[in-house]
Amino acid sequence: MTPRPAALPGAPPADRARRMRITATLLLVAMAAVFLTVRQFAHLHPAWGYVLAFAEAAMVGGLADWFAVTALFRRPLGLPIPHTAIIPENKDRIADTMAAFLRDNFLTPAVVARRMSGMNLARGLGDFLASSERGGGGSRIAGGAGELFAEVLESLDPERLGDSVRSGLAGQIEKVEIAPVLGQVLEAAIADKRHLPLLDATIRWAGHALEANEPLVREMIHQRANALLRITGLDERLANSVLDGLYRLLAEVLVDPEHPVRGRIEQALESIAANLQHDPATRERVERAKNELLANQAVGVWWQGVWERLRVGLIEFVRQRGANVAGGGVTGAFAGALADLGTALKRDPRLQVQINRFARRAAVGVATRHGGQIVQLVSETVRRWDARTVTDRIESAVGRDLQFIRINGTLVGGLVGLTIHFLDSVF
């Protein structure tokens, strides 16, 4: 015999359902008592006929609804009547139906996306992180995370960990064709005008470099000038003219957003972005350079040094400053960073849109890839439940409303019987 579980999680108490069942039964018994009593006096006055008709029809309605409600959960009076004990007899089918309902109405990508489209998860996360620092929650979270992170870094072999991290990064980079990515980044930067500060900085750098190397430029012009120019001193004037022209050109390009040189530079950048995305030869050259860079031993040695300094610095930061929980150590630093992140999430609508979009896509991906497994888990869990326990829990949850059906059936049946008796008397 299958053992009966003690209780299902979240099962409501059955006291109210039991009280309503007693009330409905007492009402039915009362109608039977009225019927048996009044039938003795029905011949004395026509009014007793109406009472008798009400009680008789009320008994019929109450008994019919008692049978209907009882048949949902068990066999009435223990009799093997067909289509009774519906819930225990069809527990497995109910489990499959619940699972199918969950799959069709909650775990489809369209439903998940529609539900999450109205949720601002980023704003909620921002409120939590921003308020956690005031309540101390952010400090505890940050302190625990920092301490755990330091212990992990300290316990693992540094050289093997550095090689593992480098190998993992290199493996992921090798899988990605970097040229189209660079081309898309460059194209997006040009479209959003984010390349302009870099272009201005490059022009200023060129001006400073020209100024710093002005003697070298003059010497090059002197050396390449012919003897006649040097004798007449025109080489110095030529050098001055060249330098003045270069300074003037750089200044004009810097202050004039519509300068032709800027246009040519942007055209060149757009051409580079297009070639990185669509030109097979350019993509092959970039991919070959990437692989050569990853295979270079000097890069491995450089990474190992960077990783060791980073690891030691992080451990030292946590160990030496983490004891200061008042806010100046790692706890305060991490908690402050979390609070800043929360404030940014609260105040930056664009960041909220990006994070919400990412969360929505992640939820849709989970529903698409794992929705079937979730549904199967629900179905198998309900199938494993004991039939009697499932019946008791469902009856406890909805039994009170079902007993109202019995009460209403008793009263409505009586009113119907009263109406029929009235019409029979009149016509």
Which whole number is the average pLDDT over 162-177? Answer: 70
Domain match, 410 and 330 both: no
Task: Decide if pLDDT at 183 tops 80.
Answer: yes
Is residue 284 in some structural domain? yes
Q: Is the pLDDT of residue 420 over 50?
A: yes
Domain count, the chain: 2
Same domain, 314 and 199: yes
Helix (H, G, I), strand (E, B) or coil at 326: coil
pLDDT on residue 381: 75
Residues 403 and 263 in one domain: no
- pLDDT, residue 91, reads 74
Q: Is 108 helix (H, G, I), strand (E, B) or coil?
A: coil
- Predicted confidence (pLDDT) per residue in 304-340, tens digit: 777 777 777 777 776 665 544 444 444 555 566 667 7
Phi-psi region of 182 (alpha: psi -120 to 50; beta: other; left: phi over 0): alpha
Phi, psi of 192 (to 5 degrees): -90, 5
In a domain, 187, yes or no: yes
Asked if 167 and 312 sit in the same domain, the reply is yes
| pTM of the model as a whole | 0.39
> Nearest CA to 409 among 105, 107, 65?
65
166 part of a folded domain: yes
User: Could you say which of 344, 372, 400 is where a domain stops?
Assistant: 344
Q: Is residue 105 part of a domain?
A: no
φ and ψ at residue 225, rounded to 5 degrees: -80, 150
Q: Which of 312, 344, 376 is the last residue of a domain?
A: 344
On whether both 171 and 274 belong to a single domain, the answer is yes
Is residue 36 one of the residues assigned to a domain?
A: yes
Residue-level pLDDT at 387: 73
Please check the confidence at residue 401 and state whether its pLDDT lies above 60.
Answer: yes
Domain membership of residue 408 as a residue range: 15-89+386-426
Domain end point (choices 294, 312, 344) = 344
What's the pLDDT score for residue 13? 47
Question: Do 339 and 390 have their domain in common?
Answer: no
Q: How far apart are CA 251 and CA 82, in angstroms?
A: 97
